Amino acid sequence: MKLCCFDEGRLGVVIGDEVADISEILAELPAPAWPGGGEDRLFAALPALMPKVESILDRAPRKPLSQATLRLAVAPTKVIGAPVNYRDHAAEAEADKETFFAHQLIRIQEIGLFLKANSSLVAPAQGIALRHSDRRTDHELELALVIGKTADRVSRDDALDYVAGYAIGLDMTVRGKEERSFRKSIDTYSVFGPWIVTADEIEDPGNLDMELTVNGEVRQSANTRDLVLGVPELIEMASSYYTLHPGDIIMTGTPAGVGPVAEGDTIHARIDGIGSITVKVRAA
């Protein structure tokens, strides 16, 4: 099932080239109490609500996807990133001696994970707004996942049970010597979408083809089988340090082929089993 948020806070299921409006489900969510936070209320409740979602789907009103504005469909407590998590990207980074990579290239098992500010998240249609135009901003295509239930010190063997679904992520990055979390937390530098494909539809997140083009030129083409730490290992590692809450996002790392983007560029990205996104790049 492809879950989405569309128009003004509508909850939808994408079916072919239409979106079915299942917003009545939102009435079932517990009222937010101040100060709130802690988890995404929809993803926390979704396992219990799934039978109702399925029961109303046939009669849910539909509209053409082309007439819907897709929005960010999740409110995480954190967005987790995975540095240098493809073998070929590690080689590429190592060869690039003039960049910050040379002194930062430590194995992911040693360096651990990083966090991106939640405020950097956007839906693909919102586009990327470049800052620090005198510096290089790179695209990083990544398989992204959403946590579906509270995960505290979960083993890799059980980890996939904690995934609600998958989406396409762009972990945009200003290159430089500052901390990763600083350079990757610029507003709009975490693109997530176009929807969330529920985990039951992705048989093996460790075998998905992906591709990213800029203005039609292929920059990144890879398969998630080349991840150093796969989805189960990333969940194990992350949850050994902090509890993962429903709605939390993990961006699993980028393969080789990262490169600069400029104002006016159009990024197109696809991941098999999920779909594709088109993202415009502009000045902030």
Q: Please, which residue, 126 or 173, has the CB nearer to Mn ion?
A: 173
Give me the least distance between CB of 84 and Mn ion, in Å please: 9
Alpha-carbon distance 59 to 210, whole Å? Answer: 34
Can you tell me the distance from the alpha carbon of 29 to that of 146, in angstroms, rounded to the nearest whole number?
18
> Please, which residue, 12 or 76, has the CB nearer to Mn ion?
76
Residues 128-147 that bind Mn ion (CB under 5 A): 140
- What is the DSSP pairing of strand 79-81 with strand 249-251? parallel
Residue from 39, 40, 171, 233 touching Mn ion (CB under 5 A): that is: 171
By beta-carbon proximity to Mn ion, the closer residue of 126 and 254 is: 254
Binding letters toward Mn ion, positions 254-273, x by CB under 5 A: x-------------------
Nearer to Mn ion, 140 or 236 (CB): 140
Q: Least separation, in Å, of the C-beta of 258 and Mn ion?
A: 8
The pair of three-digit structure tokens given for residue 83, joined into one six-digit string: 């540095």
Which residues, other chains included, contact 267 with Cβ-Cβ below 8 Å and sequence gap of 6+? 128, 139, 170, 212, 213, 214, 261, 277, 278, 279, 280, 281
User: In whole angstroms, what is the distance from residue 54 CA to residue 100 CA?
Assistant: 49
Q: CB of residue 157 vs Mn ion: minimum separation in angstroms?
A: 26
Instruction: Report the b/e string of 31-58 with b at 16+ CB within 10 A.
Output: eeeeeeeebbbbbbbbeebeeebeeeee
Residue number with CB closer to Mn ion (13 or 249): 249
Least distance between Mn ion and beta carbon 121 (Å): 14
Region near Mn ion per CB under 5 A, out of 21-29, 38-46, 112-120, 246-254: 246-254
CA trace torsion 120, 122, 124, 127 (10° rounding): -70
Smallest separation, CB 69 to Mn ion (Å): 27
Residues that bind Mn ion (CB under 5 A): 140, 171, 254
